[in-house]
Structures are given as structure tokens and as C-alpha cells.
């Protein structure tokens, strides 16, 4: 299998009817799927595998995600991503010939991990690096420091 450009993230939109979606996210096992529910106010909530949703029909091109605990309304979304463990799957014994599909599977996993990191970094708060001589202390808004969010 060859990994397409962006396969670490998928999004499904609600329509008050559908309970299943085909998600084009490359996974190998269903336990690596992470799903977040976004309500109409934009608030994200984590969903639980085999409680709120199921994963079936895993292929090289994606899988089927089915909601089991509620109906996704119009204006609500599911954010789906793969979250794989950072492990080495490929044993490389010295002096042996390596089958092409084994090498390709290893590079596919590296690609999925790189995409996973990219997605995680896009969701982080970013701060500008201080210039030489600038204070490294963060300025805190007085309203927020008193707990009035």
C-alpha cells in the first residue's frame, strides 16, 4: 500500500439522518482511531470506541465509522484521526533479503506517524520565539489572571 498525501485526518458532517460514514484515514487496527464530536457551538468532546462508535470494513483506503449512541445533527461534525503507537514494527536481521511489501509497510507507518505529528502540532498553541534581550516572561491578561474566563 502507498500512503496518499494526507490520510491522518477525516471529517464527517451530520445531516440528521446518516449514522455511518466511509472515512478515508489509513489505519491498520481499529484501536488507533480517535474520534471527537463537535457540536454546533464548536465545542469538541471525545467519543469512546465500541461505546459511542464502531469501526468496521478496514481496507487500505479507509474504514466505515458508525455512531451507536446518538444521531449527528446538521451543523455537527465528527473529527477522525489515527493515533498510532511510536514503535518499530520491522525487524531487520543482518544479512537477509527484505521483501518489498515488508519495507513498504514500514515506510507507510512512518508516513502515518509523520502525518499524526503534523496534525497534533497544528492543534497546539504557538508562541513567538523571544528575540535576544527580550523578556521570556509571558504577559498575562489581568482579567484572566483572576479566573474570570
Q: pLDDT (tens digit, 9 = 90+) per residue, 89-99?
A: 666 667 777 77
Do the beta carbons of residue 105 and residue 90 sit within 8 Å?
Answer: yes
Report the share of the chain in percent with pLDDT over 90: 26
The CA distance from 23 to 36, in Å, is 14
**What pLDDT sits at residue 25?**
80
**How much is the pTM?**
0.62
**C-alpha cell of residue 71:** 444521531
Q: What is the pLDDT of residues 112-146, one digit of tens each?
A: 888 888 888 877 777 666 666 665 565 555 555 45
DSSP 3-state of 22: strand
Cross-sheet strand order for the sheet of 33-38: 9-13, 77-82, 33-38, 44-46
Instruction: Report whether pLDDT(58) > 80.
Output: yes
Amino acid at each position: 500500500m502507498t500512503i496518499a498525501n494526507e490520510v491522518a485526518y477525516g471529517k464527517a458532517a451530520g445531516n440528521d439522518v446518516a449514522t455511518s460514514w466511509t472515512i478515508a484515514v489509513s489505519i491498520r487496527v481499529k484501536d488507533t482511531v480517535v474520534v471527537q464530536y463537535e457540536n454546533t457551538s464548536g465545542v469538541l468532546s471525545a467519543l469512546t470506541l465500541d461505546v459511542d462508535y464502531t469501526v468496521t470494513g478496514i481496507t487500505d483506503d479507509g474504514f466505515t465509522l458508525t455512531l451507536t449512541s446518538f444521531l449527528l445533527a446538521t451543523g455537527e461534525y465528527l473529527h477522525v484521526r489515527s493515533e498510532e503507537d511510536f514503535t518499530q514494527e520491522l525487524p531487520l536481521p543482518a544479512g537477509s533479503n527484505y521483501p518489498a511489501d515488508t519495507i513498504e509497510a514500514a515506510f507507510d507507518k512512518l508516513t502515518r506517524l509523520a502525518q499524526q505529528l503534523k496534525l497534533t502540532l497544528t492543534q497546539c498553541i504557538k508562541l513567538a520565539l523571544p528575540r535576544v534581550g527580550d523578556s521570556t516572561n509571558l504577559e498575562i491578561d489581568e482579567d484572566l489572571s483572576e479566573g474570570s474566563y
